[in-house]
């Protein structure tokens, strides 16, 4: 990136980040609005934003959409970067508040909790376990029904081939957490565990498999592959807007950093999850829904593939290559987008951050748990009590065996949960390097070994001694306002500088 481009990119990124934070706050953060140069009325009426990709014709000028209830005199002509104070021109238009998450073609359905149908995006191969295959589709297709749970039966059908046997799998993970809406997310996707044997009917169809992945470019021609054909389109933009599930405006989620583009034909219900390819047969994203009114004719929203692969800890199974590999991959997953601090109810799979392995799986669990409790609670006055409390929260989540994960490593390293593992945490190198010569980490190791042994051999003893009373969430007591997931819930314990909660699903 040239120096000029970088100089413009930083304030623009700061504006994008601030707009996302403002929309997440339900447009009620007047101080943040003022830093952007927006009036309180304009902030409350803000519906969505759009930005051309790098490389397109003309300037990269933000478009902001506002509701009809915003007085014309309040519509901004420019925004102020909260990073540098630099002003940048914007186009203010009128637009609808919600896009609609569309939710068949290979079709996908949660057979345990039928709600919506969608489309298979691609097949992924887990980085840490190359023999494990995951079918990818849209998150709201398989997990938006309120009873949805990990392990649900999922059925895939070959569209237009009624005599072909179905492909069966089990729901593995998804994002966002549809039981805690509204939330902000960069990914709307679901993963289904499937066997190589079940996928073999698809393996011979070379033209149906992408040759690789890529980021969308400003001048790309794109194709949504659905209903047995490819529908072309163009003009991708970066986009941030709230979607609602199946028209239910009481269940919105903000999809930030998505792609907005214009297919030649309108997309339909059931297209969610459909792969978006470029003209080079590379996968650039998956279809999520239709854009709010006012964005443009037939505008569709797609989730870029890069954050999906980072979230999944997986790589794409490409055209003309074997479904499974014999050993671990050498290339790590892409970086995970910067997460929010503290363990919240977001649904995001494990990070690919490297951690030195201990002897055997149980040993690795101990080390990861120890690093987590050290990273989260080593600075409190009652370090041992605080670290023990964090360890109990991790083990309580493991017992739940929900979207957080089924073992200690998955639960601890799930992005958007324990902030000590965030890629942007300045203490992460210290977290990865600390060893038992550090007195606090030696205490953390002892806590992890003792509580994990109890959980394995005497689980009721561990539960009786749990000072958090079964908590699965906590946040710093000093936070004002508290996290949104804590609204309406009473803390069950206060230990050190943190409040703990055991009544959050």
Give CA–CA dist 9/479, Å, rounded.
31
Q: Is residue 81 within 8 Å of residue 251, measured between CB atoms? A: no
Give CA–CA dist 176/189, Å, rounded.
8
Q: Is the peptide bond prior to 182 cis by the omega test (within 30 degrees of 0)?
A: yes
User: Element (H or E) spanning 302, and its range?
Assistant: strand 300-304
**Best CA proximity match to 411, nearest among 464, 470, 351, 356:** 351
Give CA–CA dist 189/423, Å, rounded.
21
For 97-334, CATH number? 2.40.10.10
Range(s) within the chain of domains with CATH label 2.40.10.10:
97-334
* DSSP string across 315-340: EEPPTTS-SS-SS--SSPPPPPPPPP
505 residues of the chain, pLDDT tens digit each = 333 333 445 667 778 878 877 887 766 788 888 989 999 999 989 988 888 876 555 567 888 989 888 888 899 999 988 777 888 899 998 888 776 554 434 677 778 888 888 899 999 998 778 888 999 999 999 998 888 888 999 988 776 666 677 889 999 999 998 888 888 888 999 999 999 988 887 877 777 889 998 888 887 889 998 877 888 998 788 888 888 887 788 888 888 889 999 999 888 888 899 999 998 889 999 999 998 888 876 789 999 998 888 888 888 999 888 887 754 433 333 333 323 234 543 333 333 333 333 333 357 788 899 999 998 888 665 456 788 899 999 999 998 888 788 889 889 988 778 888 887 777 787 888 887 777 788 888 888 988 998 888 888 888 888 888 899 999 888 877 888 888 888 888 888 778 899 888 7
């Amino acid at each position: 990136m040239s120096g000029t481009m970088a100089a413009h990119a930083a304030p623009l990124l700061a504006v994008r980040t601030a707009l996302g934070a403002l929309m997440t706050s339900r447009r009620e953060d007047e101080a943040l609005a003022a830093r952007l140069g927006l009036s309180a009325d304009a902030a409350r009426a803000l519906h969505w934003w759009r930005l051309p990709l790098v490389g397109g014709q003309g300037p990269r000028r933000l478009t902001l959409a506002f509701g009809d209830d915003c007085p014309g005199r309040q519509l901004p002509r420019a925004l102020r970067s909260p990073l540098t104070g630099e002003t940048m021109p914007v186009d203010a238009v009128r637009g609808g508040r919600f896009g609609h998450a569309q939710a068949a073609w290979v079709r996908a359905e949660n057979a345990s909790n039928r709600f919506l149908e969608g489309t298979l995006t691609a097949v992924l191969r887990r980085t840490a376990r190359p023999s494990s295959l995951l079918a990818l589709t849209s998150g709201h297709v398989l997990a938006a029904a309120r009873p949805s749970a990990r392990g649900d039966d999922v059925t895939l059908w070959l569209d237009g081939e009624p005599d072909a046997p179905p492909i069966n799998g089990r729901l593995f993970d998804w994002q966002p957490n549809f039981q805690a809406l509204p939330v902000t997310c960069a990914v709307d996707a679901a993963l289904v565990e499937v066997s190589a044997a079940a996928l073999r009917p698809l393996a011979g169809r070379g033209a149906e498999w992408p040759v690789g992945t890529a980021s969308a470019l400003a001048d790309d021609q794109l194709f949504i592959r659905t209903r047995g054909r490819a529908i072309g389109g163009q003009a991708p933009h970066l986009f941030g807007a709230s979607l609602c599930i199946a028209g239910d405006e009481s269940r919105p989620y903000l999809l930030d950093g998505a792609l907005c583009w214009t297919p030649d034909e309108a997309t339909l219900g059931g297209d969610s999850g459909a792969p978006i390819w470029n003209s080079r047969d590379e996968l650039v994203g998956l279809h999520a829904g239709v854009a709010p009114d006012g964005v443009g004719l037939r505008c569709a929203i797609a989730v870029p593939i890069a954050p999906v692969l980072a979230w999944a800890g997986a790589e794409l199974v490409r055209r003309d290559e074997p479904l499974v590999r014999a050993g671990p991959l050498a290339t790590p997953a892409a970086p995970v987008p910067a997460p929010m601090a503290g363990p919240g109810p977001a649904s995001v799979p494990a990070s690919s951050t490297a951690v030195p392995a201990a002897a055997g799986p149980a040993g690795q669990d101990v080390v990861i748990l120890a690093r987590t409790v050290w990273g989260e609670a080593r600075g409190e006055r009652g370090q041992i009590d605080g670290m023990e409390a964090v360890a109990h929260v991790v083990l309580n989540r493991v017992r739940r065996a929900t979207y957080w994960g089924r073992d200690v490593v998955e639960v601890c390293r799930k992005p958007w949960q324990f902030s000590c593992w965030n890629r942007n945490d300045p203490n992460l190198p210290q977290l990865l390097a600390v060893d038992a010569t550090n007195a606090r980490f030696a205490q953390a190791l002892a806590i992890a070994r003792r509580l994990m042994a109890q959980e394995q051999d005497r689980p009721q003893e561990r539960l009786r001694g749990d000072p958090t009373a079964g908590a699965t969430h906590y946040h710093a007591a000093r936070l004002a306002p508290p996290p949104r997931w804590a609204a309406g819930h009473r803390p069950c314990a206060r230990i050190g500088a943190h409040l703990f909660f055991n009544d959050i699903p």
